Structure 1
Amino acid sequence: MLSAASGDHQESAFAVIRAEFPLPGAFPAAALAEAERAAAVPDGVDRVDATDLPLVTVDPVGSRDLDQAVLIERLGSGFRVHYAIADLGVTIRPGGALDAEVRRRGQTFYLPDGAIPLHPPVLSEGASSLLPGEVRAAVLWTIDLDSDAEPARAELRRALVRSVARLDYASVQAAIEAGTPHPSIAALPELGKLRRKAAAARGAIELELPEQQVAPDGNGGWHVVVRPRLDVETWNAEISLLTGMCAAQIMTDANIGVLRTLPDAPEQAVVELRRSAAALGIDWAEDADAASLLIGLDPASPATMALLDDATRLLRGAGYTAFDGAPPHVRGHAGIGAPYAHVTAPLRRLVDRFATEVCLAVTAGREVPDWVREALPELPAAMESSDRLAAQVERACIDQAETWTLAGQVGRLFPAVVLRTNGESGGTVFLLDPPVLGKCRGDGLVEGQRIMARLLEVDPVARRVSFEVA
């Protein structure tokens, strides 16, 4: 049986996952050559000099592919957000070898033992990354918000920027709690809370399920953990969502662009969720919508965990909608409660480069470039395919780490919560410690029920664990 500390075997297992899925390999020589030339030669584009803005980046510890840098200022009773986004639009030559390879990849794929980048590191971790102290080409969004944190004006332009600090979530959270936030984001908590309030008013459906991650176990191997989501991560994400909503407004007003879309939940799905809430003893007022209910639940409650898992039925059908010359046939995003577009992570996601170019052209009163217009119809299929692959790889890595976490413990009892039931055949449980998801045999399981689950099987080759009710 594979030991949780057998680091060499575990690293080879991630290699097996890399080989099992159609993940990209090394960049072709021609694509690398183009990237190196682009990194070495200034793009020659006329840009606004915004290097005086004290922008900062906020990312996980150790990140080098830095897409965004932010500065938040008070503006009367409202706010002004400066949001610089790495500019790939003039770095990658349309129709070239690098362009073709990036379109083939679709996005950066993250595995526990290393990422497979969308762009060569000479760009994504070097010349195009918003690293501190370096002058970088960027698309600079300036968004003015009123006292309720609703956008009143948004503009974007190509600029030169220089980040003054590379911050990470944990240190930013600690500084805010200590009352010593970085001046560039001192207003982030207030703005973030207002934007969260606005999300609830829009009917945004957001599921705060426990987030499993694969992490080093301290003994040369890997295990699965739940990483708590810090408040600063939520607030920071609201800045990205705000920008994406402004981009969607620009594109839908002009009848050209590409949106990230999610249809409203079918009425039957809401009816079934109400039935589940009643069975779990969760009070759901008749005049309240699903968003209002979910945002007020205690995420640590077993009943809440089961209901949030069940609520995933409300968020099915996510995709991308491209449109040119007419309104999009799907416009909204039920998870956000508004039209939304990806524009804030061009180093890591293909579609952002094209959506940004549409916004730049529209706001400048120019025609959208032909190379962008020609690519729009192809983007939804490319992104949906890469999204599926990324999700499959992430799940495989977590499944693998779950087997390592539980190796050698067959027969042990674990406290667990029943998330789903399968009639009389059992269901799916989530262990409270360690945070493992697995099938469980047993009669009479009830969603939201706390049980003791006995580990029956650990199969590292099949990446499978199973339990039975004790």
Structure 2
Amino acid sequence: MPATRIRLQTGADTTLAQGIAAVQREMKLPGAFPPEVEAAAAQAAAQPRLPALDRTDVPLVTIDPPGSMDLDQAMHLERQGGGYRVYYAIADVAAFVASGDAVDAEAHRRGETLYGADSRILLHPQSLSEGAASLLPEQLRPALLWTIDLDAGGEIAAIDVRRARVRSRARLDYAGVQQQLDAGTADPLWSLLREVGELRQRREQARGGISLALPEQEISVADGQWRLEYRVNRPVEDWNAQISLLTGMAAAQLMVKGKVGLLRTLPPPDPAAIARLKLTAQVLGIAWPAAQSYPDFIRALDPSKDAHVAMLTACTTVLRGAGYVAFDGALPAQPLQSALAAEYAHATAPLRRLVDRYVGEVCVALCANQPVPDWARAALPALPELMAEADRRAHQYERQVIDLVEAVLLAPRVGETFQGAIVEANGAEHGRGNGNGNGAAAHSGVVMLRDPAIEARVGSAAPLPLGQEVTVRLAAADPLRRLVRFELVG
């Protein structure tokens, strides 16, 4: 199932690094960029196409995890009459990359940056993604500058996006800004971000939408003992995420009105997925009133509690089926991103995701009442399949890394028993045997463990008792094969 991103803390040994390298080899993932791509990127970095419009007067800043260098977005907010004005500058990759050039062709092969623990496989060479195209502080940069006006209730009142020269004033991190907010010493910008972020959260709730912000898993090693800890999102991270979501919704509005573009869609959740979530909540001892909708249930979870973290992770199953849909003329039959209860597009991370460059290009043209450039329009039909393959590869890579991490963490506990409950039962798998060599039909499913609070595969010679409390034994945990296997006891 989908899982939270894992970050490897300094001090961990080399076991995970070696395992991740093996995953990359097995999946035949791209490594270093070809020399011709690096050379083309270096040349482009030295000769950016700077737009005529100068908006270096806007006091933009970036806020990201500590040490981030691939800075896609810079932000400024101000009051506008009785409402608000949001400036959101997005790195302009097209100012460096031309359709069909070596960097563009390689980006189409990769699709998106891949993450696994602290490993990254970049979409663009570092000279661009962490250098000339990144919105680093005190650097003149080409950008797509979004200007979004909101009314007093946080609803979109006006949208504009155009190419501009910008300069970020500072590179900030979430922990530092949150600490200043808590101490009452933060710049007024961050109080305004809180105001706008909370307004947008209320708008989301009124629509019936939900932003599923999972805690980040951090692995550390101390005295030879592996520890898996959860870091809960700081409030400023959630408010900042609302600005990115706002921009994606603004992009979708422009494209739907212009009847050309590329949306990020998600069908309504399968009732069976909701039923499974309710069973998982029961297993974890979390009350889910019959009249409570799943967005309201998710919103009520407390990510500081281990059981609620497991529940949040399980809730990602309702997000399955997300994809992209291109259109030119007729609108898509199903244009919504159902979790957000709105039309939405990926528009704010072009350094890390290919599709965002095209969405930005379409929106700039629509705002200028100009035709979408031929190179961008011609690429739209192929992008959904290309990005679907990139997403599949990213999810597979993440899953392989998660399997590796779980195997490393559980390896010292082979033979131990754990308490949990069966939350999925798939029936018998005829002809495969039950792992004991007797050829009997095996039943497989998923067990939700209480401690550690994870989901894992479980097998049994007998039918698995869906929803019932069970005891399982850890039969195998092999980091080399990234294998974790439990067996039903009794």
Between the aligned partners of 2:310 and 2:467, the Cα distance in structure 1 is 6
Aligned match of 1:31: 37
- The letter for the 1-side match of 2:377 is R
The reply to whether residue 157 of structure 1 matches residue 162 of structure 2 is: yes
The reply to whether residue 121 of structure 1 matches residue 126 of structure 2 is: yes
Equivalent of residue 423 in structure 2, options 410, 420, 427: 420
Between the aligned partners of 1:412 and 1:278, the Cα distance in structure 2 is 24
Gap regions ≥5 residues in structure 2: 1-10, 428-442
Aligned match of 1:465: 484
Equivalent of residue 189 in structure 1, options 168, 181, 194: 194
The reply to whether residue 237 of structure 1 matches residue 241 of structure 2 is: yes
- The letter for the 1-side match of 2:361 is E
Q: Classify the secondary structure of the residue corresponding to 2:68.
A: coil
Aligned match of 1:429: 448
Between the aligned partners of 1:146 and 1:438, the Cα distance in structure 2 is 47
Contact map agreement 2:47 2:96 (CA 8 A) in 1? no
Q: Classify the secondary structure of the residue corresponding to 1:217.
A: strand
Between the aligned partners of 1:77 and 1:275, the Cα distance in structure 2 is 46
Question: C-alpha displacement at 1:62, in angstroms?
Answer: 0.9
TM-score, normalization by structure 1 = 0.88
Between the aligned partners of 2:468 and 2:203, the Cα distance in structure 1 is 30
Report matched runs for 1:75-224 at 5 Å. 75-207=80-212, 211-213=216-218, 215-217=219-221, 224=228
The reply to whether residue 43 of structure 1 matches residue 60 of structure 2 is: no
Question: C-alpha displacement at 1:74, in angstroms?
Answer: 2.3
The reply to whether residue 328 of structure 1 matches residue 332 of structure 2 is: yes
RMSD: 3.1
Between the aligned partners of 1:175 and 1:453, the Cα distance in structure 2 is 47
Aligned match of 1:439: 457
Structure 1 pair 466–431 and aligned structure 2 pair: CA distance change class (3 A) = farther
Q: Classify the secondary structure of the residue corresponding to 2:48.
A: coil
Contact map agreement 1:259 1:320 (CA 8 A) in 2? yes
Between the aligned partners of 1:205 and 1:9, the Cα distance in structure 2 is 37
Structure 1 pair 461–200 and aligned structure 2 pair: CA distance change class (3 A) = same
Q: Classify the secondary structure of the residue corresponding to 1:187.
A: helix
Structure 1 pair 452–163 and aligned structure 2 pair: CA distance change class (3 A) = farther
The reply to whether residue 342 of structure 1 matches residue 346 of structure 2 is: yes
Aligned match of 1:246: 250
Question: C-alpha displacement at 1:267, in angstroms?
Answer: 5.2
Structure 1 pair 464–54 and aligned structure 2 pair: CA distance change class (3 A) = same
Between the aligned partners of 2:81 and 2:181, the Cα distance in structure 1 is 22
Aligned match of 1:409: 413
Contact map agreement 1:71 1:83 (CA 8 A) in 2? yes
Question: C-alpha displacement at 1:165, in angstroms?
Answer: 1.3
Deviates more, 1:169-178 or 1:236-245: 169-178
Between the aligned partners of 1:269 and 1:458, the Cα distance in structure 2 is 28
Gap regions ≥5 residues in structure 1: none
Question: C-alpha displacement at 1:284, in angstroms?
Answer: 3.3
Contact map agreement 1:413 1:452 (CA 8 A) in 2? yes
Question: C-alpha displacement at 1:296, in angstroms?
Answer: 2.6
Contact map agreement 1:305 1:419 (CA 8 A) in 2? no
The reply to whether residue 367 of structure 1 matches residue 371 of structure 2 is: yes
Contact map agreement 1:54 1:184 (CA 8 A) in 2? no
Contact map agreement 2:279 2:467 (CA 8 A) in 1? no
Report matched runs for 1:10-21 at 5 Å. 10-21=16-27
Q: Classify the secondary structure of the residue corresponding to 1:322.
A: strand
Q: Classify the secondary structure of the residue corresponding to 1:118.
A: coil
TM-score, normalization by structure 2 = 0.84
Between the aligned partners of 2:125 and 2:444, the Cα distance in structure 1 is 49
Between the aligned partners of 1:309 and 1:8, the Cα distance in structure 2 is 27
Structure 1 pair 87–378 and aligned structure 2 pair: CA distance change class (3 A) = same
Structure 1 pair 439–172 and aligned structure 2 pair: CA distance change class (3 A) = same
Structure 1 pair 220–395 and aligned structure 2 pair: CA distance change class (3 A) = farther
Structure 1 pair 107–209 and aligned structure 2 pair: CA distance change class (3 A) = closer
Aligned match of 2:399: 395
Question: C-alpha displacement at 1:289, in angstroms?
Answer: 3.6
Contact map agreement 1:357 1:372 (CA 8 A) in 2? yes
The reply to whether residue 55 of structure 1 matches residue 60 of structure 2 is: yes
Contact map agreement 2:407 2:482 (CA 8 A) in 1? yes
Between the aligned partners of 1:222 and 1:120, the Cα distance in structure 2 is 34
Question: C-alpha displacement at 1:278, in angstroms?
Answer: 7.9
Between the aligned partners of 1:401 and 1:300, the Cα distance in structure 2 is 21
Deviates more, 1:395-404 or 1:276-285: 276-285
Question: C-alpha displacement at 1:347, in angstroms?
Answer: 0.3
- The letter for the 1-side match of 2:174 is Y
- The letter for the 2-side match of 1:182 is D
Between the aligned partners of 1:452 and 1:208, the Cα distance in structure 2 is 31
Between the aligned partners of 1:298 and 1:10, the Cα distance in structure 2 is 30
Structure 1 pair 209–186 and aligned structure 2 pair: CA distance change class (3 A) = closer
Contact map agreement 2:112 2:390 (CA 8 A) in 1? yes
Between the aligned partners of 1:404 and 1:185, the Cα distance in structure 2 is 40
